[in-house]
Amino acid sequence: MAHAENEVFIRRNTRDVYDFLANGLNNPLWRPGVTQVRLASGPASGVGAVYSQRMAGPGGRSIDGDYQINVAEPGVRLGFDVVAGPARPTGSFALSGHDAGTTVSFSLTLEPKGLMKLMGPMVTKAMQAEVAQLENLKRVLEQDS
Pick from 30, 28, 77: which is nearest to 51 by CA? 28
Tens digit of each residue's pLDDT (9 = 90 or more) over 97-141:
998 999 999 999 998 776 666 666 777 888 899 999 999 999 999
- Over residues 40-57, mean pLDDT: 95
Q: Which residues contact 139 (CB under 8 A, 6 or more apart)?
A: 30
Q: What is the pLDDT of residue 117?
A: 62
Question: Picking from 44-48, 57-61, 125-129, which range would have the lowest pLDDT averaged per residue?
Answer: 57-61
Q: What is the pLDDT of residue 120?
A: 63
* Domains in the chain with CATH codes: 2-143 (3.30.530.20)
Q: Which amino acid is present at 12? A: R
- pTM of the predicted model, to two decimals? 0.91
What Cα–Cα distance (Å) separates residue 142 from each residue in 13, 16, 17, 87? 11, 11, 10, 31
Answer whether residue 29 shows pLDDT above 70.
yes
Q: How many CB atoms lie within 10 A of CB 124?
A: 17
